[in-house]
Amino acid sequence: MSAPVEPVDVVCAIIQRGDEYLLAKRPPGKRLAGLWEFPGGKVDPGEQTTEALHRELQEELGCCVTILQAGPPVLHDYPWGTVRLHPFLCELTGDSPEPFPHEHTELIWVFQKKLLRPDLAPADEPVVKWLTTLA
């Protein structure tokens, strides 16, 4: 019997602007290609989740955020492995450039009621449900 595989730690940013939130479309050739997700990525060994969030957003979107609140981690099993998703509610800093899809095919701003869509990455669904519990 093989030893259980540890989940992969991943961060995501729920970037809020007024009543809208940013979603990014995964590019062709990657797992979950064509699905929408909250932007983010893997936590490197020895890296704090908040450090990973800022690094990933700089790499993927070229933007800077202020973290408003950390959400509860979400465990999600995909056919290729389990992820532990660490969500963070954020807003762009006053001096941040506008997000640009360096690694995604498209970015959209959507109202909260439009976040739960059939083409949303499955691990992000519990994050949307958490978001609806916030005042």
Number of domain units in the chain: 1
The reply to whether 87 falls in a domain is yes
The reply to whether 75 falls in a domain is yes
The reply to whether 53 falls in a domain is yes
The reply to whether 2 falls in a domain is no
Model pLDDT for residues 67-117, shown as the tens digit of each residue: 999 999 999 999 999 999 999 999 999 999 999 999 999 999 999 999 999
In angstroms, rounded to a whole number, what is the distance separating the alpha carbons of residues 50 and 6? 20
The two three-digit tokens of residue 106, written as one number: 């498209």
pTM above threshold 0.85: yes
The reply to whether 3 falls in a domain is no
The reply to whether 81 falls in a domain is yes
Model pLDDT for residues 42-64, shown as the tens digit of each residue: 999 999 999 999 999 999 999 99
CATH number for position 48:
3.90.79.10
The reply to whether 92 falls in a domain is yes
> Buried b vs exposed e over 70-108: b needs ≥16 C-beta within 10 Å?
ebebbebeeeeeebbbbbbbbbbeeebeebeeeebeebe
Residue 112 structural domain: 8-132
